[in-house]
């Protein structure tokens, strides 16, 4: 796993088509803006884990 530090306004690119930008950081909370093509699903971790456990 890669761990990066980013400040509000900074971003990372995943390939050429997915941009993940830090848009707000307060009191330990973090907000991310994700810009990706529509065909790529974006799912919160807890939803992903729930769906994964139901598939087993």
Tell me the pLDDT tens digit for each residue of 19-28.
999 997 777 7
Q: Which structural domain range is residue 20 located in?
A: 11-55
The answer as to whether 3 is a domain residue is no
- In the chain, the number of structural domains is 1
Q: What is the pTM of this model?
A: 0.80
Compute the 3-state secondary structure of the chain and give helix, strand, coil in percent, each to the nearest 5: 20, 35, 45
The answer as to whether 2 is a domain residue is no
How does residue 34 score in pLDDT terms, banded at 50, 70 and 90? very high
The answer as to whether 5 is a domain residue is no
Mean pLDDT across 7-26: 92
Longest dimension (CA), the chain: 39
The answer as to whether 4 is a domain residue is no
The answer as to whether 42 is a domain residue is yes
The answer as to whether 21 is a domain residue is yes
The answer as to whether 16 is a domain residue is yes
């Amino acid at each position: 796993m890669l761990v990066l530090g980013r400040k509000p306004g900074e971003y990372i690119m995943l390939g050429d088509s997915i941009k993940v930008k830090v848009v707000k950081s307060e009191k330990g909370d973090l907000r991310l803006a994700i810009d990706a093509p529509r065909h790529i699903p974006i799912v919160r971790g807890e939803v992903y884990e729930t769906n994964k456990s139901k598939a087993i």
